[in-house]
Structure 1
Amino acid sequence: MRLRRPAGLFSIALLLACVVLLVTRGLNPGIDFSGGVLVELGYPESVELSTVREALAEAELGSASVQYFGTQTDVLVRMAPEDTENTAEISERVLNALRAVGQDPEVRRIEFVGAAVGDELAVDGALAALFALIGILIYVAFRFEWKFAVGAIAATAHDAIVVLGWFSLLGLEFDLTVLAAVLATIGYSLNDTIVVYDRVRETFLDLRRSEPVDVINTAVNQTLARTIVTSGTTLLVLFALFFFGGSVVHNFSVALIVGILVGTYSSIFIASGILPALGVKHEDLLPPQDDDEVDQMP
């Protein structure tokens, strides 16, 4: 708790930076949200993106977006399809254009999502995140005192915004798998916060003569080893996915790695550090007593 004020200022600055990034740069929506056709190509050796772009431009596919996907032998081609084309025709056009300049890549996957479906998925994804936050607020408000619910929501929203800001900063593709990772981050952060809050509540009842800040500090330190071990073992799995899971789960693992790191930080400094600012006292957590019982006490 000695570091709660510097941590709070750092988090405010970090959130402002993330919001500015999201407003100015936005996210790089994947095909799930933007609609269009995505073709993943595999080359036997590294290839220059400029060469691929020139070949597609000569075949009147100049509007296609071309980027590396993990390594310089894996290339993603994304474009808006014509109404009369299907995925087979588009992949054939891309392959013919590249073979015309002496390239012979392998088509590893091709995906198609209509614009209307992409818009619907984007709206549904935003609603899913909103309902998750509302559900968390209701759950924590019933399980704890309302001040704890405010701290849990602040920590959870902090984690989600930071993950989105990271993707905006790096320009990583934001698709349904990344959205699932953001929702998983919300759940993980809430679980970590609930564990800390349970210990805070128990410690408030045990140390009734101590100051609230000292009580919260004791509770956080008692759960610190558990928090670090849990986050560390989770990160081991996520780093294995990041390095060995392949391109399909690359962004998913990135989102969860950032989410676990920032979620651990927020459960220690944000969720707990906001409690003294909200004025949490021993009286807020004492079990209610019936007046008749109090009158009969010796």
Structure 2
Amino acid sequence: MNIVQKRKLWTSISCAIIVLGIVLAFTRGLNFGIDFTGGTLMEIDLKEYVETSQVRNITDKIDPSASIMHIGEEKHIVQIRTTENLDNEARIKIFNEFKDKYNLDEQDLVRSEQFGPAIGREIRNKALISILLATIGMLIYISIRFELSYGISAIIALIHDVLIVLSVYSIFRIPINSPFVAAILTVVGYSINDSIVVFDRIRENIKTVTKKDYVAIANDSIKQTISRSINTSLTTLISIIALYILGVEAIKDFTLPLLVGILAGTYSSIFIASPIWVLLKERGNI
């Protein structure tokens, strides 16, 4: 298993995805959801549970990317969130379609309003600050617990994971909203875990050799921990996939970036973090 020797291949794969995502983000922009762009929110009591696909038969006329959620104790209330700024006349027109189809009354329009992106900006800014503080804290901890080379490698792998998730969202035009921010913060905490497991094994193995062959040490450490990393990620992914398949749309908004992030985190802990550590050790006394 010569993973470290093939680091250019692994790096090229990641760079290709990230560069494509960045280029598309700059050329056509990220698909920000209503939490960041502002838009329109409507809540309609349909008196019964109605499948999302049936609701979309009406909402797709105004915005095919509108977010649909079922709320309330019995999931009879449908919440429609769209980035389109619909005036009062347009909102009434939409409600009238639901009213005619499901025999509703005027009071069944529970909520109808427009709002701006101010809350989204606040969420974004706090998320960036949280990620920055978490990154600095992890760098300090890993540098003290191990040494600086481990800390730098782990943080680069962490940045890689976040960029991969953002790139996937950019490439496939998936809406970025509040659950996405929460998922990214979860990925930041989760993805560092596998890297630390590999680094801990490297630290133990490096004590038992007289010749500091960093490539061989890293390869042996990856080989000894790879089954643990893959099995741990698989059990986590099974739970998240079940949530994605069976959950409501709000849960899917949270679990999708988790799926991508955990896959990226498992990949980076094996193919990115350790090769970077070897590179740092070979090029200087870090």
TM-score (norm 2): 0.79
Quote the offset at 1:207 in angstroms: 1.9
Amino acid aligned to 1:27: L
Match for residue 95 of structure 2? 95
Given the alignment of the two structures, is residue 12 of structure 1 paired with residue 10 of structure 2, yes or no? no
Match for residue 137 of structure 1? 139
Partner Cα distance (1:266, 1:195) in 2: 13
1:38–1:77 Cα contact (<8 Å) kept: yes
1:99-129: per-residue Cα shift (whole Å, max 9, x none)? Answer: 46x5769989978754322222222222222
Match for residue 222 of structure 1? 224
SS of the equivalent of 1:209 reads coil
Partner Cα distance (1:111, 1:223) in 2: 53
Partner Cα distance (1:200, 1:191) in 2: 14
Task: Go from structure 1 to structure 2 and tell me whether the alpha carbon gap of 1:110 and 1:218 turns closer, same or farther (over 3 Å shift).
Answer: farther
Match for residue 35 of structure 1? 38
Partner Cα distance (2:67, 2:216) in 1: 50
Task: Go from structure 1 to structure 2 and tell me whether the alpha carbon gap of 1:45 and 1:178 turns closer, same or farther (over 3 Å shift).
Answer: closer
Task: Go from structure 1 to structure 2 and tell me whether the alpha carbon gap of 1:96 and 1:70 turns closer, same or farther (over 3 Å shift).
Answer: closer
Larger Rg computed on CA atoms = 1
- Is there any run of 5+ residues in structure 2 with no aligned partner, and where? 70-77
1:226-281: per-residue Cα shift (whole Å, max 9, x none)? Answer: 10110010001011011011211112111111111111000001000112211259
Moved more, 45-54 or 218-227: 45-54
Partner Cα distance (2:118, 2:256) in 1: 28
Moved more, 106-115 or 157-166: 106-115
2:39–2:81 Cα contact (<8 Å) kept: no
Partner Cα distance (2:188, 2:199) in 1: 16
1:22 corresponds, among 21, 25, 49, to: 25
Q: Mapping of 1:191-210 within 5 angstroms?
A: 191-209=193-211
Moved more, 141-150 or 188-197: 141-150
Task: Go from structure 1 to structure 2 and tell me whether the alpha carbon gap of 1:197 and 1:95 turns closer, same or farther (over 3 Å shift).
Answer: same
Amino acid aligned to 1:225: S
2:10–2:272 Cα contact (<8 Å) kept: yes
Match for residue 270 of structure 2? 268
Partner Cα distance (2:266, 2:91) in 1: 44
- Is there any run of 5+ residues in structure 1 with no aligned partner, and where? 55-63, 286-298
Partner Cα distance (2:268, 2:144) in 1: 22
Quote the offset at 1:65 in angstroms: 3.0
Task: Go from structure 1 to structure 2 and tell me whether the alpha carbon gap of 1:226 and 1:46 turns closer, same or farther (over 3 Å shift).
Answer: closer
Amino acid aligned to 2:186: A
| Percent of aligned positions that are identical | 34
1:37–1:112 Cα contact (<8 Å) kept: yes
SS of the equivalent of 1:174 reads coil
Q: Mapping of 1:114-153 within 5 angstroms?
A: 114-153=116-155
Partner Cα distance (2:260, 2:163) in 1: 11
Amino acid aligned to 1:190: I
Match for residue 65 of structure 2? 67
Task: Go from structure 1 to structure 2 and tell me whether the alpha carbon gap of 1:46 and 1:9 turns closer, same or farther (over 3 Å shift).
Answer: closer
1:145–1:284 Cα contact (<8 Å) kept: no
Partner Cα distance (2:109, 2:215) in 1: 60
Amino acid aligned to 2:154: A
2:179–2:250 Cα contact (<8 Å) kept: no
SS of the equivalent of 2:281 reads coil
Partner Cα distance (1:45, 1:261) in 2: 29
Given the alignment of the two structures, is residue 169 of structure 1 paired with residue 168 of structure 2, yes or no? no
Quote the offset at 1:20 in angstroms: 1.5
Amino acid aligned to 1:31: I
2:201–2:221 Cα contact (<8 Å) kept: yes
Quote the offset at 1:162 in angstroms: 0.6
